[in-house]
Structure 1
Amino acid sequence: MLKNLNILKSLTILYAEDDLIIQESISRILKIFFKEVFVANDGNEAIKIFRNNQIDILILDYVMPNLNGYETSKIIRKTNKKIPIIITSAYTDKEKLLNAIELNLIKYIEKPILREDLVKVFDTIIKYMDENNLLQVKLDENLYYSFINKKITKNKKEITLTKNEVIFIELLLNTPNQLVSKNIIEHNIFKGHVDENTLRNMVYRIRKKLDLDIIYTIKNLGYSISIK
């Protein structure tokens, strides 16, 4: 199990919890295992973070102000059917559990949450992601991207990517076949506005490495990646 958990070091997680004491406690644990931890205080904030960052896994509290965990999950499932979602709650309300079934959740964790509970869930997440090809995505015939080693494999040969190229590709893969705005790309890669040619040249280099026309430019708006 410990060897498997090392995979999490290459993944990001979004944790939404309105109780600040619980939020701080669980966040400290998550930061031990994950590459990056995004924290939200309610469902609306969680949706905003999800849409503006590359997120691999979500842990959402059921009872939150503005937008609860169930409603947040429903919105996310409209654009991403497979991303692992875990719901936490202090209650064992059967109706809530029944509602959550349709959302294809990984787990429903009852509070208080122990470190041991999280470790077990992490192992389940890794197995789920592996079985659903979320650790490696098929871009085209004989062309794959690995979320673990951050490389593209083409005809069984590895293609190395730069750090910025990895961020760009994973942003597009977070919502495949949909527009990712230039503002979001610039924020995640360059931490702010950048010269148009800098972004355009990076995309050109990626396309050349892929030797495949699956990254599309939406003029003046951003980019999308086509995944069948």
Structure 2
Amino acid sequence: MNKNTTIDIILAEDEPALGMIVKESLETRGFSVRHKENGALALDAFHEKQPDILVLDVMMPQLDGFELAKKIRVENEEIPIIFLTAKSQTEDVLEGFHVGGNDYLKKPFSMEELIVRIENLLSRQTVQKTAAIYELGDYSFNFPKQQLIYKEEVTKLTHRESHLLYHLVLKKNKVLDRTFILKKLWGNDDFFSGRSMDVFITKLRKKLAQDDQLEIVNVRGYGYKLMAP
């Protein structure tokens, strides 16, 4: 993250006092913060100017944090989203990630922790944007051009193959949640979408087969894992 660039944050928090404290604390650290007291106002602010990152309370009037994130993800798949919530149940945490959240912070929280999480997400996004070509063993994966290159052999990927491999690469050697990727790339996680994704996984396995260091493993009940050096 470039420290010389002012980071623009949309903060959606319906508790006025907490919202003001967070806004002022972030601004003293050099961030620019647009505080909105409900999801609808935050969505309007997003449409006026897309920020660098969003910090969204889950429980808000008019449009809650999860519904707001869903609408934002339709327009922008990459912008980082942090959820703030008093909830701590596992299903609530999973729901936050399934609708496109990148991080989850339980109330009450320290400002130092929030700032560290904001900076980590922005730094990670910068790395992803600059790393247009990913090295996978003996392969190179050019995501913008949707190409897999093995030595001098170029294989063209479809849009969905490319995006599926991109998410596997981002989670390299970790499990890519099946429900998350189905909702993100197929729009739902029903049986037919699941079968379609299995077909795409098989296609990617064949296209990566020339390097035996690479393997896409089915983690039963959870998702897939790209094993790579």
1:106 aligns with 2:102: yes
Task: Supply the AA of the counterpart residue of 2:88.
Answer: T
2:23 corresponds to which of 4, 24, 27: 27
Task: Give structure 1 stretches of 5+ with no counterpart.
Answer: 142-228
Alignment partner, residue 83 of structure 1? 79
1:96 corresponds to which of 92, 95, 98: 92
Whole-Å separation in 1 of the counterparts to 2:48 and 2:101: 22
1:68 corresponds to which of 51, 60, 64: 64
Whole-Å separation in 2 of the counterparts to 1:130 and 1:27: 24
Residues 4-19 of structure 1: matches in 2 within 5 Å? 4=1, 6=3, 9-19=5-15
- Max radius of gyration: which structure? 2
Deviation at 1:6, TM superposition (A): 2.0
Deviation at 1:134, TM superposition (A): 7.8
Please give the per-residue CA displacement for 1:152-185, whole angstroms capped at 9, x wherever unaligned: xxxxxxxxxxxxxxxxxxxxxxxxxxxxxxxxxx
User: CA separation of 1:5/1:107 partners in 2, compared to 1, >3 Å: closer, same or farther?
Assistant: farther
Deviation at 1:51, TM superposition (A): 0.2
Residues 144-163 of structure 1: matches in 2 within 5 Å? none
Deviation at 1:34, TM superposition (A): 4.2
Task: Give structure 2 stretches of 5+ with no counterpart.
Answer: 133-143, 146-229
User: CA separation of 1:5/1:122 partners in 2, compared to 1, >3 Å: closer, same or farther?
Assistant: farther
| Count of residue pairs the alignment pairs up | 134
Percent identical among aligned pairs is 27
Which SS does the other structure have where 1:100 is aligned? helix
Asked if the contact 1:5/1:123 (under 8 Å) is kept, the reply is: no
What TM-score results when the alignment is normalised by the length of structure 2? 0.53
Whole-Å separation in 1 of the counterparts to 2:72 and 2:100: 12
Which SS does the other structure have where 2:129 is aligned? coil
Task: Supply the AA of the counterpart residue of 2:110.
Answer: L
Which structure 1 residue ranges, 4+ long, deviate > 3 Å from structure 2? Answer: none
Which SS does the other structure have where 1:130 is aligned? helix
Whole-Å separation in 1 of the counterparts to 2:46 and 2:25: 20
Deviation at 1:32, TM superposition (A): 2.3
Which SS does the other structure have where 1:86 is aligned? strand
Whole-Å separation in 2 of the counterparts to 1:101 and 1:110: 14
User: CA separation of 1:134/1:96 partners in 2, compared to 1, >3 Å: closer, same or farther?
Assistant: farther
Asked if the contact 1:5/1:33 (under 8 Å) is kept, the reply is: no
Asked if the contact 1:27/1:37 (under 8 Å) is kept, the reply is: yes
User: CA separation of 1:111/1:52 partners in 2, compared to 1, >3 Å: closer, same or farther?
Assistant: same
Please give the per-residue CA displacement for 1:197-227, whole angstroms capped at 9, x wherever unaligned: xxxxxxxxxxxxxxxxxxxxxxxxxxxxxxx
Whole-Å separation in 2 of the counterparts to 1:87 and 1:135: 26
1:38 aligns with 2:52: no
Q: CA RMSD in A?
A: 2.5
Task: Supply the AA of the counterpart residue of 1:95.
Answer: E
Whole-Å separation in 2 of the counterparts to 1:50 and 1:13: 10
Deviation at 1:95, TM superposition (A): 1.7
What TM-score results when the alignment is normalised by the length of structure 1? 0.53
